Amino acid sequence: MPAPLTDAFITNLPKAELHLHIEGSLEPELMFALAARNKVAIPFASVEDVRAAYSFTNLQTFLDIYYAGAAVLKTEEDFRDLAVAYFDRVAMDGVVHAEIFFDPQTHTHRGIPFDVVAAGLFAGIDEAKAKHNMSVGLIMSFLRHLPEEDAFETFAQAEPWLDRLIGVGLDSSEVGNPPSKFARAFAAAGDAGLMLCAHAGEEGPAEYVHEALDVLHVDRIDHGNRALEDPALVARLARDAMTLTVCPLSNVALRNVDRLENHPIDRMLDLGLRATIHSDDPAYFGGYIGENFRATAAARNLSREQVVTLARNSFLGSFLDDETLSGHLASLDAYVKAG
pLDDT in tens, 298-320: 999 999 999 999 999 999 999 99
Domain spans, the chain: 7-338
User: pLDDT, tens digit, for every residue of 56-93?
Assistant: 788 888 888 888 789 999 999 999 999 999 999 999 99
Q: What is the pLDDT of residue 297?
A: 98
Which of the residue ranges 15-24, 47-56, 307-316, 317-326 would you say has the lowest mean pLDDT? 47-56
| Region of poorest pLDDT, from 3-7, 72-76, 159-163, 282-286 | 3-7
32-to-22, 43, 66, 301 alpha-carbon distances in Å: 17, 11, 14, 38
Beta-carbon contacts of 321 under 8 Å, excluding residues fewer than 6 positions away, are none
The residue-averaged pLDDT of 122-136 equals: 97
User: Three-state secondary structure along the chain?
Assistant: CCCCCCHHHHHHCCEEECCEEHHHHCCHHHHHHHHHHHCCCCCCCCHHHHHHHCCCCCHHHHHHHHHHHHHHCCCHHHHHHHHHHHHHHHHHHCEEEEEEEECHHHHHCCCCCHHHHHHHHHHHHHHHHHHHCCEEEEEEEEECCCCHHHHHHHHHHCHHHCCCCCEEEEECCCCCCCHHHHHHHHHHHHHCCCEEEEEECCCCCHHHHHHHHHCCCCCEEEECHHHHHCHHHHHHHHHCCCEEEECHHHHHHCCCCCCHHHCCHHHHHHCCCEEEECCECHHHHCCCHHHHHHHHHHHHCCCHHHHHHHHHHHHHCCCCCHHHHHHHHHHHHHHHHHC
Give mean pLDDT, residues 102-118. 97
Contacts of 159 (CB under 8 A, 6+ apart): none
> What dotted CATH number matches 7-338?
3.20.20.140
Mean pLDDT of 207-229: 98
Q: Is 226 left (phi over 0), alpha (psi -120 to 50) or beta?
A: alpha
At CA 308, angle to CA 304 and CA 310, rounded to 5? 120
99, 202, 203, 211: which one is catalytic?
Answer: 202
Is 70 exceeded by the pLDDT of residue 199? yes
Overall pTM > 0.85: yes
The answer to whether residue 55 scores a pLDDT higher than 80 is: no
- Whether the per-residue pLDDT at 51 is higher than 90: the answer is no
Residue 195 predicted with pLDDT over 90: yes
- Annotation says 76 is catalytic: no
Per-residue pLDDT tens digits for 223-246: 999 999 999 999 999 999 999 999
Angstrom distances, CA of residue 106 to CA of 23, 88, 246, 271: 9, 24, 23, 37
pLDDT, tens only, 246-261: 999 999 999 999 999 9
